[in-house]
């Protein structure tokens, strides 16, 4: 069974630009969560989508947004990029049903802002 | 506000020794406590998880100990191997899955021969 796939793996952008990251969950998984990982702040939750609806949202500015498609694939968008947005962006998928379901992570997209 | 506090930040253990990583939490609504292992260039991989109705869970060389009254849980790696060298994260979520995972800051483990 294929794991969580994130594309692209690496991305370099400049301040003020916008970026879209993609995540394909494990087949059959309906929940997709996004996290930002930095050396200083660690892993921080961005948002979770389940059945195309945002179910939870972290404490990030509105420049960070996401969506989920009917096939459970998800995208996140960051607009007006800032230097502080440089991070590893991780996507995790789970079955998403009732109760705590194990989350499985992709290898992330490394975003660098110049 | 950091909801899950993890210690130590880094740990060096001799091959064959026991690695112990500790986490503490404040939110009594947490009811699921997973541990993740992350190698450089890779995403975190689920290692083992525990729910508060048990005090210990063992899978191979990895054991979680859970103390509900103290709101603490720990990961023990028995017979530590150089291949275990990685960063380990504890996490917690609550309300039967309706709240997202909150992660500790991570522990960088180095197992030396």
Rounded to an integer, what distance in angstroms lies between the CA atom of residue A55 and that of residue B93?
Answer: 14
- Which among B100, B101, B105, B108 is the top mutation candidate for probing chain A, defined by the most A β-carbons within 10 Å of its own β-carbon? B100
Residues of B in contact with A106 (CB under 8 A): 43
Q: List pLDDT tens digits, range A4-57.
A: 999 999 999 999 999 999 999 999 999 999 999 999 899 999 999 999 999 999
Q: Could you give phi then psi for residue A84, rounded to 5 degrees?
A: -70, -5
Cβ B17 vs Cβ B98: under 8 Å: no
> Rounded to an integer, what distance in angstroms lies between the CA atom of residue A43 and that of residue B101?
10
Q: Which residue of B has its CA nearest to A57?
A: B100
Predicted local distance difference test score (pLDDT) of residue B39:
97
* In chain A, residues 5-24 whose CB comes closer than 8 Å to chain B: 6
Let me know the angle formed at the C-alpha of B21 by B17 and B23, rounded to the nearest 5 degrees: 165
In whole numbers, what is the pLDDT of chain A averaged over residues? 94
Contact yes or no for A42 and B89 at CB 8 A: yes
**d(CA B12, nearest CA chain A) in Å:** 19
| B7-55: pLDDT as tens digits | 999 999 999 999 999 999 999 989 999 999 999 999 999 999 999 899 9
Cα distance between residue A11 and residue B82, in whole Å? 32
pLDDT given at position A51: 92
């Amino acid at each position: 069974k294929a794991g969580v796939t994130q594309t692209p793996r690496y991305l370099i952008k400049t301040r003020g630009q916008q970026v879209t990251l993609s995540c394909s969950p494990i087949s059959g998984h309906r929940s997709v969560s996004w996290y930002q990982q930095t050396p200083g702040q660690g892993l921080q939750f961005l948002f979770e989508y389940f059945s195309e609806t945002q179910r939870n949202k972290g404490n990030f500015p509105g420049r960070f947004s996401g969506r989920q498609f009917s096939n459970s694939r998800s995208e996140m968008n960051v607009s007006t990029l800032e230097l502080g947005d440089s991070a590893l962006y991780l996507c995790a998928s789970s079955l998403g049903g009732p109760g705590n379901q194990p989350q499985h992570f992709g290898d992330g997209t490394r975003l660098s802002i110049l | 506000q950091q909801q899950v506090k993890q210690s130590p930040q880094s740990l060096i253990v001799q091959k064959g020794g026991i690695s112990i990583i500790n986490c503490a939490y404040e939110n009594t609504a947490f009811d699921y406590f997973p541990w993740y292992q992350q190698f450089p260039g890779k995403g975190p991989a689920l290692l083992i998880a525990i729910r508060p109705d048990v005090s210990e869970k063992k899978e191979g060389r990895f054991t979680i100990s859970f103390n509900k009254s103290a709101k603490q849980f720990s990961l023990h790696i028995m017979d530590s191997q150089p291949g275990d060298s990685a960063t380990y994260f504890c996490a917690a979520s609550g309300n039967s899955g309706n709240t997202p995972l909150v992660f500790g800051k991570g522990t960088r483990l180095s197992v030396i021969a």
